[in-house]
A and B are shown apart, each in its own frame.
Chain A
Amino acid sequence: MTAKVLVSFHLNGTPADVVVEPRELLIHTLREKCQHTGPHIGCETSHCGACTVDMNGMSVKSCTVLTVQAEGAQVLTVEGLAALAQDGAALHALQEGFAQEHALQCGFCTPGMLMRGYRLLQENPDPSEAEIRYWLAGNLCRCTGYQNIVKAVQYAARKLRGEAVETSHPLLPAAAEQPA
């Protein structure tokens, strides 16, 4: 076993100091040492994106980042997303959009999707559907078929741009559709 290393970084704005083996992966440090179990492990080979977090303004798959690489970094996980909401809202526009558009089912991919969606909207506040799909191609979802995820990102983009937002799933069916 190699000697352990002290690594210091900022996790959702709060300083974090961890002692790890040089081989330890960031996802394990986040989940097991920092008790941030939002990011998930779906493959450990960078394919599924469930472990996606934001590091120094870029999306990274934390299953293939060594914790020592995070020295001095600003790391943002799903647990820190709500704190970035505009105007003191309880949830970030993306979180609200995902709920309103039914963009999650089992919820396992959701933290990674949200963090990737966050990075997309930071870079491009008005993405087209094709751009959203391309940007999310590194995040797999087995439940939703992506269509509602795309709508959720569009919902959030509109809200963040200050435009009116509306769910595509009104609570009660329109009067015309209700049985007599």
Chain B
Amino acid sequence: MNDPDQDLRDLFARQREAEHALVPAFRSLQRRATHEPSARAYAWRWALACGAATAVALLFMIQPAQTAPSLTQALPVFLPPAEAASTWLAGLSSSATDTPSDFLLPHHLQLTVL
């Protein structure tokens, strides 16, 4: 009995024969599947690494910024406060400014702070 679809069967049989000659070896594909990480696994690794880096960056950004001390606190005191300046200047009397070597100077050169 003739198969009405014999023409199609022959067509596909020829295709099958041609493609079977090109099939990659089963063992190589199986080995690649079980031993080598797939492209997706690489993509996941990249995604995880990027996620971790983003999380670390966010942690640093979210941390409250430490308030820097004001200059008056940070710098050492070289001069007395402004309110004490008047008393400090008043304390500069002639006796305070006299130095022990003044007597070596000629008399007309001796200065007196008023």
A and B associate in one complex: no
